[in-house]
Amino acid sequence: MGGRGRPGGAGSETVKDISPQLQNQIAQYQQLQNQLQVLGTQRVQLEAKLREIEGTLEELGKISGETPIYKSIGMLLVRQDDREALKKELEEH
């Protein structure tokens, strides 16, 4: 049986066999992959927050002006008398 060069075939190059330029490109690619993953996670979080705000604004539009509204601040629920200011705050997010 004839050997084919190094044991393990053509795909068995180690990191030290790869040129510094290619190593740098691989590192950049891995950084971009990580950034893409972080951005994807942030996008999902922002989309969820947007849906929550849109739902809140929709519900605010359905209730009467006499219905008390409370805003969650930490572990407290604080009554909000200024509905327009609350709507504006939600829309700015």
Mind listing the pLDDT tens digit for each residue in 5-37? 455 555 556 767 889 999 999 999 999 999 999
Single pTM value for the model: 0.63
Q: Write down the pLDDT at residue 3.
A: 47
Q: Does residue 56 have a pLDDT over 80?
A: yes
- Alpha-carbon distance values, 7 to 4, 16, 24 (Å): 8, 16, 27
Sequence-distant (≥ 6) Cβ neighbours of residue 7 within 8 angstroms: none
Query: Domain spanning 15-92: which CATH class is it, in words?
Result: mainly alpha
Q: Which helix (H) or strand (E) holds 76?
A: strand 76-80
Mind listing the pLDDT tens digit for each residue in 35-54? 999 999 999 999 999 999 99
- What is the Cα–Cα distance from 65 to 75, expressed in whole angstroms? 25
Q: Does residue 82 have a pLDDT over 80?
A: yes
